[in-house]
Chain A
């Protein structure tokens, strides 16, 4: 999969409370959640974000609450992929489980600026900053996780597993 989009850049320790504030967690509807994506860190995000855009952040993206509504809200808002220097572990699992593509690429994350155009080739493991003319190697997923992604996510994986047993 290849994604190309405009960068929305953030710092380190972006927590899931600012990605989707708890006051909106009275629904599981992706469309409703997307209306409030990033609201408490970037009130204007929902108006600016275009389908395919890429969220870029530094270390520990998605820390805090386990709410899966966070990757769901980002994906439904049009974000194609999140590139970060590192991810908090529950967010990492949740992104994979809900089909939000994520890429660990510290150099790309540090050097990208808001408004840059980024191309992410998940298969090749390459992040390109088209605005700056730079190319970075992304960290590959462990084989187990790539297998899980290839099978369409956790629930199809578990179903297949249970049927085999």
Chain B
């Protein structure tokens, strides 16, 4: 009987020839990460338990991205704790404001993740790195504290669900739409405790940025991880990472065997997936964007760990070029990293967005979790390219978030209500 890619990665990390779904293993950790919300709790637990040394200062990443630049005095205190720990322990991958980005955009872009790696992070969207054929999953602060000391993590080897996306995506349909559609199909606990393995023609054709968006939201279906197999696009992405980085030195890569065992196989006709939106208050509450046209909005957020990559901003700019943000809408751009900012500046994307009337932020998680930089008032409604639309997620419990792709978010910003790109005239220029 063959093994899935996830089983192979975990077997190697556990020093075993083979593992099976359901086995509990102690896996070597290649990278452990935390942010300014989850790290302070972890550092307190680490010290309380009497640990004095980290297992490897080069395999830990501390990323102050949530409430930074410090949103208030208490947040500043949390960020300070993290900074002081990073200095005291010589943490190599600590990123200060000005160099920091949103963790799940920043760390792979820095070349810190290689195919076949095991990554754990005290942030639920750690599942993002499956896009480079790594096993990655979110944990809590105590698990992170243990991994910092031990360099290992206990994991139950997950069953895998194989998703096969047939056909090619239609114009203005992205990896984000495909993922929202998938979550709508299986529900917010449809992949509970399981690995989501994304395959098929539409995935092969999907950009790396689109793959990151899909793996990023595996947690919104309850998944332990999301993963895409290694191919030519992965190689190209890895080889354009910084010289000398872990990604550049990628070693053995894994692929699922044809006779691997799956909990189930889900076939999706990708060519039939429309621009898709998740309505309040669950990511699984999906509908075609066209069916929601006319719902008035107050704010648009484009960016985050889900959609804050260059391709995402370019897609938004392609809609906003020569158009303006509706007078009743605040449009906020949250780029993933400083590098994304530079590239968006160099190719005119930033100028297009600013000229259209968008606020261009420094990289931060900010409003995605109702932190700062765009919190919603009671009764306000946003279209966001973020990942969660729970009650109160972006602000007041009486506010609403509709999740969408950068194309739909940008079109909605122009229209002042939920809209698809074709209804604001996009696509007619080319």
Contact = CB atoms under 8 A, between A and B. Distances in A.
B141 A68 contact: yes
Interface string A52-72: 000000011001111111001
Contact of A158 (B67, B150, B369, B392): B150
A85 to B, nearest CB: 10
Contact of A67 (B37, B51, B156, B371): B37
A62 to B, nearest CB: 10
B45 A155 contact: yes
A94 B142 contact: yes
B371 A23 contact: yes
Contacts of B72: 26
A19 to B, nearest CB: 10
B154 to A, nearest CB: 7
Contacts of A18: 390-392
Nearest to B43: A28
Nearest to B81: A28
A149 interface: no
B397 interface: yes
Contacts of A67: 37-38, 140
A124 interface: no
A67 B192 CA distance: 18
A127 B224 CA distance: 28
Given A26-B72, A26-B78, A89-B192, A68 B140 contact: yes
Given A18-B392, A40-B392, A161-B150, A66 B189 contact: no
A162 B49 CA distance: 13
B188 A65 contact: no
A17 B146 contact: no
Interface of B: 24, 37-38, 40-41, 44-45, 48-51, 66-67, 72, 74-75, 77-78, 121-124, 126, 138-143, 145-146, 149-150, 154, 156, 188-189, 192-193, 219, 222, 224, 282, 369-371, 388, 390-393, 397
Given A25-B66, A40-B391, A60-B188, 6 more contacts: A13-B188, A68-B38, A68-B141, A88-B189, A94-B142, A158-B49
29 contacts: A15-B390, A17-B390, A17-B391, A18-B390, A18-B392, A22-B369, A25-B67, A27-B78, A28-B78, A41-B391, A60-B222, A64-B124, A64-B219, A65-B369, A66-B122, A66-B124, A66-B139, A67-B38, A88-B192, A89-B193, A89-B222, A90-B124, A93-B140, A94-B142, A142-B156, A153-B142, A155-B142, A158-B150, A162-B150
